[in-house]
Structures are given as structure tokens and as C-alpha cells.
Amino acid sequence: MIRLSKSVVGRAESAAVAHVIEDIGYLGMGATVGAFEHQLEQYIGGGRHAICVNSGTAALHLAVQAVTKPGDEVLVPSFTFVATYQAITAAGCKPVSCDIRPDTLTLDLKDAERRITSRTTAMMPVYYASNCCMAKAYQAFAAEHGLRLVEDAAHCFGCSVEGQKIGSTGDVVCFSFDGIKNITTGEGGAIFTADEEVIEKVSDARLLGVQKDSEKRYTGQRSWQFDVVEQGYRYHMSNIFAAIGQVQLARFEKEFAPRRREIAQRYCELLSDTPHVKLTPMDYAHDIVPHIFALQILDGKRPLLEQRLKEQDIQYGIQYAPNHHLTLFHEDVELPVTEEVYKRIISLPMHPEVSEADIQQICNIINSL
């Protein structure tokens, strides 16, 4: 079987977890989380502060809660994982479904602009398939319209725009470190921001709203007498997760990123002349470290491709069912690009252990449809 995605972890991650269990002896949030956050800040740069939590969804939820108030409207592309929407409604806000651009498959600002009302206070673009080339445009749009910007960069760890890492600029940026992301902590996520108020709010909210507890936890202490002024959650990261993350971060630039880039470039080389394939152009040589590899299959041939892939035991993804189709978020809204892309999109195996033979087998199937 060729797997769609995979955690690439091994002895080094096991040893790091064993160190937490056997030597440190404290599995909750402590010094290892503090050290991982510091390493993330060094890696991403821009003087941003990193706050680690136990999922990407938790990162998005706390970020939205920190920059909005219940009842606010948040502009978001319907074409995203349901986590993006759940984070908005968890914060008591209303997701306002927007269309995507056909060239980037990310939020279309012209469409978003039409949907702004007096209640719109934030925008949440999603860097689908790691495509972050619009980051500066989203930041400029948010500034122009007085909106807070929460970037869903779950797919984008390690990607850059104009030489700056995603997370090093902008308002609030969220990553996911779930089992199959560019780096994993098992489950996990992080919020990057330079906004002191957001740093304080999300640091407290991840620890049940207990004020100023993070720094104490990093030195093995905690507050016994404290106040709570805002809704909080048990969203903090554990030392075990952080220990895995430290090893993954150390392996990322040398091992994971080059292989992911190479795989995407090989897919592009082998599929670029295929008439029934539409690729999304991306700078895999420099800016982009792809989390997924998604392409559009034209001429109604996707069902046939799905059948052929199943016959050869090759996993694929359909990412994502638009959120406005789901019962909870259902809306009669016209999103023509989203509807069309959803019929054509398919994700091919993408993880550092996909081999050249795998790529050739997959591309042969696509090219012979």
C-alpha cells in the first residue's frame, strides 16, 4: 500500500520521550515545553512569541477568542478542514463562508470584501496545501479594513514568503503539529504573535484561564492562589509532545523539508503536460514545503482515477468537503469556484517516505486516464 500521509518518527523521538519519562519525571507542561517554544521562536524569527497548545484546532480557537467577541463575523474560505470553522464557532463567532481564487485555491479577497458587514471583525485565510503566496495581500487587506487577521497556517510550517517565514509577520498565525504535518508533536499546535495582549490572553486561556501560570510551569511551579477573568480551556502542551517536537524541528530542514519539496517537484514534472490535470503553481524550490499535494482532475475523470488508485492500493484524499455543505454550517451561499474545485480536487501521497517508484506508479495511472 502507498500511504497518503504518515508520521515519520523513530529512535530519536523515542529517546526524547524516554528522557521525559525516565529523567525529567514530569509529563505535563514544564521546562520542555518552554524550551520547545524558545526553539520555535528562534526558527520562525521576526521577534514573534510562540505559545504551544495541544492541537492546531485549539490554537485557532484561542486565537479567534483573543481577537474577537461573541457574535462577531469572521471571513473564512469554505474550502478548508472543518477545524477552521469549529474554532470560529467555539469562540462564539459566525463563520462567513467566502469563495477561493482559482489560481491559488485560497481566500478570494474580492469575494470576501463583498461579505463584510458592520459585525465583521476578523478574517481567517487558510494556506491550503501550503500555498502562502497571498500572505502579504491578506495582511494588507486586513489592515485596510480594520480587521484582525488569524492565519490558518496548519499546512504551512517552514514555508516562507519573500524570504520571511510564515509566522514571523502578520497579526496572529496558527500552526498544527498533528501526526502528519510538516513536523509533528503527536498532536499539537502553536500560536505565533507579537501582540502582548494576545500573548497574555492565549497563554492564560490554554491553562483554564489561570492568570500568569505559564512561566511558573516552566520552572516546575504553579499558582495555588490565582484569579480567572476569562473562559479558559485545558489546551496546554505536555512535555512529552514538546520532546517529540524538539527532535522533529531538528530534523526538519535537513531531512523532511528537502524530501517534501523534491516529491512535489517530481509530481509537477511528470504531470505538467497532462491535458486533464490542473496543477496549482507553487515555488517548491524556495518558499513552499508542501504538507499535502493536491491537484485538479479535469474532464470528469476524477471518479475513474479514484477507482484506479483503489485497485492499486494507493491512498488518496479529497480535501476538503466545503464547510457550507455540512449540516452544522449549512448555508445557501454561492461559491462557484469552491463548488467546481471540490468536484475536481484530489490529494496524492505526500510524506518524506514516498519513493521515486511510488511517484512514477501514481503519475503513470494519472497520465493514462
Backbone angles phi, psi at 38, to 5 degrees: -65, -45
Cell of 17: 520521550
Q: Are 18 and 195 in contact (CB under 8 A)?
A: no
Site for ligand PLP contains 65 (CB under 6 A): no
Identify the helix (H) or strand (E) that includes residue 123: strand 120-123
For ligand PLP, which is the closer residue by CB, 4 or 363?
4
Contacts (CB under 6 A) with ligand PLP, residues 275-314: none
For residues 225-262, one letter each, b for 16 or more C-beta atoms within 10 angstroms of the residue's C-beta and e for the rest, the string is: eeeeeeebbebbbbbbbbbbbbbbbebbeeebbebbbb
Write down the least CB distance from residue 83 to ligand PLP, Å: 3
Task: Decide whether 176 or 203 has the Cβ nearer to ligand PLP.
Answer: 176
Exactly one of 16, 17, 51, 56 binds ligand PLP (CB under 6 A); that residue is: 56
CA distances from 41 to 67, 192, 294 (A): 21, 8, 29
Number of amino acids touching ligand PLP (CB under 6 A): 14
Cell reading at 109:
479577497
β pairing state of 120-123 and 148-152: parallel
Shortest Å, Cβ 183 to ligand PLP = 12
Task: Count Cβ atoms below 10 Å from residue 332 Cβ, excluding itself.
Answer: 5
Separation of alpha carbons 33 and 36, rounded Å: 5
Q: Which is nearer to ligand PLP, 76 or 96 (CB)?
A: 76
Question: CA–CA separation, 116 vs 216, rounded Å?
Answer: 42
| Choice between 90 and 270, CB closer to ligand PLP | 90
Nearer to ligand PLP, 83 or 314 (CB): 83
- Give the integer Cα–Cα distance in Å for 16 and 272: 42
By the rule CB under 6 A, 329 interacts with ligand PLP: no
Q: How far is the CB of 309 from ligand PLP (least distance, A)?
A: 21
Q: Which of 36, 43, 79, 81 binds ligand PLP (CB under 6 A)?
A: 81
**155 Cα distance to chain centroid:** 4
Name the nearest CA neighbour of 346 among 360, 329, 366: 366
Between 128 and 141, CB nearer to ligand PLP: 128
**Least separation in angstroms between CB 73 and ligand PLP:** 19
Q: Can residue 154 be called a binding residue for ligand PLP (CB under 6 A)? A: yes
Smallest gap from Cβ 202 to ligand PLP, in A, equals 15
Could you give phi then psi for residue 244, rounded to 5 degrees? -65, -45
Q: Closest CB to ligand PLP among 53 and 362? A: 53
Contact between 350 and 264 under an 8 Å Cβ cutoff? The reply is yes
Contact flag: residue 178 with ligand PLP (CB under 6 A) = yes
Which of 32, 55, 65, 182 touches ligand PLP by CB under 6 A? Answer: 55
* Closer residue to ligand PLP, CB minimum distance, 108 or 178: 178
Question: Residue from 34, 77, 167, 189 that binds ligand PLP (CB under 6 A)?
Answer: 189
144 Cβ neighbours under 8 A, 6+ residues apart: none
CB 25 to ligand PLP: min, Å? 27
Q: Does 80 bind ligand PLP (CB under 6 A)?
A: yes
> Cell triple for residue 3?
500511504
Sheet containing 49-53: which strands, arranged edge to edge?
A: 49-53, 189-193, 172-176, 148-152, 120-123, 73-77, 94-98
340 DSSP assignment: H
Which CB, 155 or 201, lies closer to ligand PLP? 155
The C-alpha cell that represents 198 in the structure block: 494576545
Listed ranges 30-38, 65-73, 80-88, 329-337: which one lies at the site for ligand PLP (CB under 6 A): 80-88
User: Between 43 and 320, whose beta carbon lies closer to ligand PLP?
Assistant: 320
Site mask for ligand PLP (CB under 6 A), range 92-131, x = bound: ----------------------------------x-----
Please identify the residue of the shown chain whose CB is closest to the bound ligand PLP.
56
Give the binding site for ligand PLP (CB under 6 A).
55-57, 80-81, 83-84, 126, 152, 154-155, 176, 178, 189
